Homo-oligomer: A and B are copies of this chain.
Amino acid sequence: MYVSIKETFPGVKPIANKKAEIRELHSAAIITAAEEVFALKGFKGATTQEIADLAGLPKANVHYYFKTKKDLYNKVLEDVVEVWKKDADAFNQSDDPAIAISNYIRSKMDYSFSKPFGSKVWANEIIHGTPVLGDEKLARFLSIWEKRKTIQLSRWAKQGKILPVDPHYLLFMIWATTQHYADFEHQIRVLNGNKSLSKKQQKAATNTVIEIILRGIGLEPGK
């Protein structure tokens, strides 16, 4: 028996009708499955059949919602970018560099630990030279994303709030390190005796990253 979302969560995000609801549900299931399969297999290595299986739908249904594999892949990439745009805001939330940078690192680390798939899909796409996303889209997204942060870092440097390091290379360092915990999850797990990092270890890793970065640019990491 099918139970409507409207019934289950009355008043919460009411959806017009059953068809729209199913559409929402199934396309979301496909996207979620696709994110995982693309992350683990890459674009070429992923099969629509495997995505369909993981989503619990027949393959033809995947093609009903997304004309081509490429369309689906693009949708997954767009969603990843969307999340990262929000992270970026965290950076400009405080005028105290120690607080802003700590928060940014923490939020990126949390995301790497809890949802590593998106980062993996992104890494794949970049390593291969953005064959699907394309350079224009990449440039458009990255420049906005980066500019605000580098400007802020430059300002802090000019004000003497942080040491005068080149903001680009500092940013790369933060991105690289935080996303490493998502992209290289497997390597880290193997090095950790085939066990995923515990909550405690995740906290320790996050704090270590924050400490080294802050100290590295002349800030005293708060205990």
Contact = CB atoms under 8 A, between A and B. Distances in A.
Q: Bin the interface of chain A by size.
A: 35 or more
A71 interface: no
Copies of this chain, count: 2
A40 to B, nearest CB: 6
Interface in A81-131: 120, 123-124, 126-130
Question: 4 nearest interchain CB pairs?
Answer: A212-B216, A176-B180, A44-B45, A216-B216
Interface of A: 39-45, 120, 123-124, 126-130, 135, 138-139, 142-143, 146, 163, 165-166, 168-170, 172-173, 175-177, 179-181, 183-184, 186-188, 190-191, 194, 204-205, 208-209, 211-218
Contact of A184 (B42, B176, B177, B194): B176
Chain A contact residues: helix, strand, loop or mixed: helix
Contacts of A120: 127
Nearest to A116: B127
A163 B208 CA distance: 11
A173 B209 contact: yes
